[in-house]
Structure 1
């Protein structure tokens, strides 16, 4: 199991529905979203001309975890991230942040929660065009009525964190798309959020800049250990950043699991089609194929159990000795070149049969 997923749940979503139409709550007895026949309820809703944009969605996001929600356009993924923050009001269901039911929070309570506990980054950069980079990053702190000296000091800290030191006085139209998105990330981090929502933040960027921003995002997470809900339609992007993935279709979550679990054991044909072009070397981890370690094993090139075969295989190019797998400073197993190749062959055959 991913170590982050062993931590307490930071954000809990239970039986959330978002129905667009006339009197949407009338579809749910006593206001409960816990429906046994979800597909039947979706059909009932559609039969009246209404739309179930999110249908009986439940999941937990653990502290320090990157939880990716993905699906095709219209699957409900962006609706869900907005329901979690109540930018869109769920029809029924429960959403808890640190034990607080967000759907029962008053308007004023919700404003304070958003200001102090949530960071949000969307596909559109949303920068204020007349303000400098420094002023844009400091803006949410100004809303919090933090004094100028402190808010600019924190803003400069965030600007340096995202690699934009020296551009503090630039205005948005003087920046590239990737730099503008970095400003948006810095601004969302300035409030030191407990949970960070990102809705396709890199999808408007050119492919090269997008890959650079993904790398930057991974770097930031290794430093900050935020609890993150990240929306994307790109499985390779999800593969790069996710601890766990929830795949949505027609408003429903059809599978939740680690990238490896979803690629190797897709729950439906829809999920299999999502993952069919993913190279297996990117998802099979050392921990999933390791063997018991032998005595005297060389640990000079040890790797973590989460290391993928894509990263590991070059280690066998100059020598064929086993590679030690180390967790928390202790050797927990090893991977051999033959073992790695056998795992790839076995899983390739398994995927072809699906």
Structure 2
């Protein structure tokens, strides 16, 4: 993996002439987690998809740049809210999907290291229907990491999980994505309070930044500073959605 750059998105977007989000400047610090929250429809996922150079249905007037001046989209791995596993493929083949689609040889040594880190050794030959929700998310995370990209975009990746499994997946992701530049779009204030080195709430008028807890990521769920940050974020979200 090459060194993770910082990323800046500056601009505004509209759909059919209607503003989707106002002019904003979103900076992702190199090798850090940035969490983006906000109500439905304010453009969070559009921001993420713009960075990944994926279709959005919106017209974007602005620019996306990396601190090192190199292309952004080519260095991104994207993990969607749904795990998007191929139902007919085994865990091993799902993890190796990117290389297979490009016609490249799979780095099996890397695959097996990720399998072990993600606790999937006993499930390599299983199909997605044979896995729990948490196991499926671990497969999706391993597939994302197989791309070995310095920039990781996460779109509500753990929202469908129960609280215990979600916390475990947050811990695993924080560990495996150390030194990557990560943008996570989330509706969960607790997730942002645990994972964010920088936390922003997006509204129709722009971004409001909230100071994260001082503790290292991932922060303890029951730490007072995590609880306080979660409460502050929830209060802000309620105020901005009224």
Report the TM range for the smaller structure's normalisation. 0.7 to 0.9
Q: 1:77: how far off?
A: 1.0
Does the alignment pair 1:77 with 2:30?
A: no
Distance in 2 of aligned mates of 1:57 and 1:100: 22
What is the match of residue 122 of structure 1? 80
1: distance between equivalents of 2:43 and 2:76?
21
Q: Deviations over 1:296-340 (max 9, x none)?
A: xxxxxxxx8x988x6599xxxxxxxxxxxxxxxxxxxxxxxxxxx
Contact 1:68 / 1:238 at 8 angstroms: preserved in 2? Answer: yes
In the alignment, structure 1 residue 173 sits paired with structure 2 residue 129: yes
CA RMSD of aligned residues (A): 2.8
* Selected match of 2:53 from 77, 83, 86: 86
CA contact (8 A) 2:5 2:31 kept: no
- Does the residue aligned with 1:78 lie in a helix, a strand or coil? helix
Residue deviations 1:189-214 (CA, integer Å, cap 9, x gap) = 10101100000001111222212212
Whether the aligned pair in 1 keeps the contact of 2:4 and 2:151 (CA below 8 Å) is no
Higher relative contact order (CA 8 A, sep 6+): 2
Deviations 1:208-246 (A, max 9, x none): 22122122222323xx32110001011111000000011
Consecutive unaligned residues in structure 1, runs of 5 or more: 1-6, 22-49, 103-109, 260-282, 287-303, 314-343
Gaps of 5+ in 2: 236-242
Whole-angstrom CA distance in 2 between matches of 1:160 and 1:8: 24
Q: Does 1:144 align with 2:94?
A: no
TM-score (norm 2): 0.81
Contact 2:79 2:141 (8 Å CA) reproduced = yes
Matched residue SS, 1:145: coil
The residue aligned with 1:19 is: 14
Kindly tell me the number of residue pairs found equivalent between the two proteins: 221
CA contact (8 A) 2:118 2:138 kept: yes
Residue of structure 1 in register with 2:239 after alignment: none
Structure 2 CA distance for aligned equivalents of residues 307 and 18 of structure 1: 34
CA shift at 1:8, angstroms? Answer: 8.9
**What is the CA deviation profile of residues 247-296 of structure 1, one whole-angstrom value per residue up to 9, with x for unaligned ones?**
1012x43312432xxxxxxxxxxxxxxxxxxxxxxx4x48xxxxxxxxxx
1:154–1:174 distance in 2 versus 1, CA, 3 Å: same
Residue in structure 1 matching 2:70, options 76, 100, 117: 100
Distance 1:8 1:177, change over 3 A: closer
**Higher helix fraction: Structure 1 or Structure 2?**
1
C-alpha distance in structure 2 between counterparts of 1:240 and 1:193, whole Å: 23
- 1:234 paired residue among 166, 172, 188: 188
**Matched residue SS, 2:96:** helix
Q: 1:99 to 1:20 in 2, by over 3 A?
A: same
Moved over 6 A (4+): none
Q: Deviations over 1:85-128 (max 9, x none)?
A: 121264210001341365xxxxxxx6xx1xxx211111111001
Q: Matches of residues 1-354 of structure 1 in structure 2 within 5 Å?
A: 10-15=6-11, 17-21=12-16, 50-87=17-54, 88=56, 90-97=59-66, 98-100=68-70, 113=74, 117-148=75-106, 150=107, 152-221=108-177, 224-250=178-204, 252-259=205-212, 283=213, 285=214, 311=223
